[in-house]
């Protein structure tokens, strides 16, 4: 077992494939639990972040290997006085500010853009690998990132739709209706573990609203819970976020 792990620590194509795929799988496993609890960062976001981090470390190992072997004569000729990995680190730090700009909080208190930001960061990591000429890793990273962005949304949606945790946005007429709404939610045999109430703004004629975080005690269709709440006359808007 230890010998097999030592082989996978070598800097060869098989080791690169194993590390990137393992990073994607482990990141997805962590994000799957977050996705089931309806958190802003879900399975695909964690996959992209873990994949980008693994790609960055592999790039550093590749640069060190090339500087001490293939590029050793060139490095000696021009005089290497700094760690080349620092350039990549500055790019990754800089792209973090750009990625943060894609994350927004909607009027329904829903966080969006997390996966876009993670994809942008992973794309920057891929660009660094291209610049260093680490082509074996680049093509595999492109394949895995494309898989996460284009194919796995269907898997993530299925997991979320069948999860026992829900976040429900409800807009109603007045704050006096909150008790009635809570009673109707509890009547669906669910547990309310968090309520975030927005009192609304009279000057903008905006109705009060609330986000209810609930947990289903048994598996049931999310649409059934939404339909039961929407039957109340005081409810103006209802949606799952």
Here the CATH number for the domain that contains residue 221 is 3.30.70.260
CA atoms within 13 A on the CB side of 239: 8
Q: Which residue has the tokens 């004629």?
A: 205
Q: Which has more pLDDT, 161 or 83?
A: 161
Alpha-carbon distances of 104 from 119, 142, 204, rounded to whole Å: 15, 26, 22
What residues have CB less than 8 Å from 105, skipping those under 6 apart? 111, 112
Alpha-carbon distances of 8 from 19, 22, 129, rounded to whole Å: 8, 12, 20
- Do residue 153 and residue 93 come from a single domain? yes
Would you state the pLDDT for residue 48? 92
104-105 vs 165-172, strand pairing mode: unpaired
- Do residue 177 and residue 226 come from a single domain? yes
- Do residue 21 and residue 76 come from a single domain? yes
- Do residue 184 and residue 150 come from a single domain? no
Count of domains forming the chain: 2
- What does the alpha-carbon distance between residue 177 and residue 238 come to, in Å, rounded to a whole number? 14
Of the pLDDT bands very low, low, confident and very high (cuts 50, 70, 90), residue 200 is low
- Do residue 147 and residue 180 come from a single domain? no
Of the pLDDT bands very low, low, confident and very high (cuts 50, 70, 90), residue 202 is low
Range of the domain at 157: 2-161
Would you state the pLDDT for residue 145? 92
């Amino acid at each position: 077992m230890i010998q097999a792990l030592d082989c996978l620590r070598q800097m060869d194509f098989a080791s690169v494939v194993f590390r990137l795929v393992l990073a994607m799988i482990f990141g997805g496993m962590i994000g799957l639990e977050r996705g089931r609890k309806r958190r802003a960062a879900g399975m695909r976001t964690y996959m992209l972040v873990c994949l980008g981090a693994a790609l960055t470390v592999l790039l550093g190992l590749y640069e060190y290997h090339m500087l001490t072997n293939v590029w050793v004569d060139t490095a000696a000729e021009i005089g290497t006085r700094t760690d080349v990995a620092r350039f990549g680190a500055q790019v990754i730090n800089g792209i973090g500010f750009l990625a943060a700009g894609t994350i927004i909080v909607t009027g329904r208190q829903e966080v969006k853009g997390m996966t876009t930001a993670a994809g942008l960061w992973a794309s920057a990591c891929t660009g660094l690998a291209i610049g260093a000429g680490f082509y074996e890793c680049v093509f595999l990273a492109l394949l895995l990132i494309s898989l996460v962005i284009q194919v796995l949304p269907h898997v993530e949606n299925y997991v979320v739709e069948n999860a026992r945790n829900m976040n429900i946005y409800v807009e109603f007429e007045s704050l006096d209706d909150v008790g009635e709404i809570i009673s109707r939610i509890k009547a669906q045999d669910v547990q309310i573990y968090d309520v975030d109430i927005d009192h609304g703004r009279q000057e903008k004629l905006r109705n009060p609203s609330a986000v209810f975080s609930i947990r289903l005690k048994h598996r049931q269709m999310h649409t059934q819970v939404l339909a039961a709440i929407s039957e109340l006359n005081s409810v103006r808007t209802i949606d799952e976020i």
